[in-house]
Amino acid sequence: MVVEAVIKAASKKTRLRFQVIPLQSYKPRRSLQAQSLPGIGWLHIFNADALTELVNDYRCPPELAARRPALALALDHEPRTAGALNAERKFWEESDRRRIQILERHLRPYVSVVRKARFGRERSLSEEHGVRIDWAHQ
C-alpha cells in the first residue's frame, strides 16, 4: 500500500524527528490559490492524484505544459491523465534500463583493463589518472 504524505522534519543537533501528515489533512500556512509552482518540478510528478491536486492549487507555466503532454491533459482535467502518466513512467523506466545497460557494457571492460594495468605497481595519483584517461579514450 502506498501512502502519500507531506513529511515535516525538525532537527536538534544530529537527531531528526519526522512527522507524517496525510495529504488529505495537510493545510498550507498561506493560500495557494493563483500562486505559481516555480521551477521544473511539474516535469517530475508521476502520480495522477498528486498532479491533479497541484493543478487545482497552483498555476502551471504554459511552457512546461507544452513540454509534457500528460501535464497538458491534467490542466484540461482529462480522465486520460492517469494513463498518460503511466505511459510516461514506463517510458522513463525503459530509458533508464537501457542507459544502465550501456554503461555496464562499457564499464566492465574498462574496470578490468585498469585493474590489470595497475596490478603490482605503485603509481602516483597523476599517473593513475593518466592510465584511466588513456583507457577511457580507447
Count other C-beta atoms under 10 Å from residue 68's C-beta: 19
| Segment 59-87, tens digit of pLDDT | 888 888 888 999 999 999 999 999 999 99
| Segment 88-111, tens digit of pLDDT | 999 999 999 999 999 888 888 888
Non-local (6+) Cβ contacts of 11 within 8 A are 17
Grid cell digits, residue 93: 523506466
pLDDT of residue 110: 81
pLDDT of residue 37: 58
Sketch the domain layout of the chain as residue ranges.
32-119+127-137
Which amino acid belongs to residue 61? P
pLDDT of residue 20: 52
